[in-house]
Amino acid sequence: MNNYKIVFNKHCPINNLVIEYKLKIKTKNVILIEDLLGFVEQLPSEFHETFADKLFAKFSGKQTLVANHHGVTISTKRATW
């Protein structure tokens, strides 16, 4: 099993404030770091749940995405098993 963790920042689509996201991926696959970095870099300003759906569609496995949106913590989980 391979475990990947990344922290990235994106702007809130409502008020443009910077939000820090923490992503964990657990997978049997190998994810090239360059692919992961490039993918999160190109994500447009969208809602947290949309990020989770796009990340899961691209990398699958078992994923948890956590962020604090202006005092509210959002945690989404996606899994293929």
- Scanning the chain, the segments in alpha helix (DSSP H) are 33-42, 48-59
Per-residue pLDDT at 13? 93
- Map out the domains of the chain as residue ranges: 2-79
Mean pLDDT calculated for residue range 44-57: 95
- CA angle, 45 then 51 then 52, to 5°: 165
| Average pLDDT over every residue of 28-42 | 97
Average pLDDT, the chain: 95
State if pTM tops 0.75.
yes
pLDDT value at 81 more than 70: no
Q: Are the beta carbons of 55 and 63 closer than 8 angstroms?
A: yes
How big is the chain by its Cα radius of gyration, in Å?
Answer: 12
Please state the rounded mean pLDDT for residues 26-49: 96
Percent of the chain with pLDDT strictly greater than 90: 94
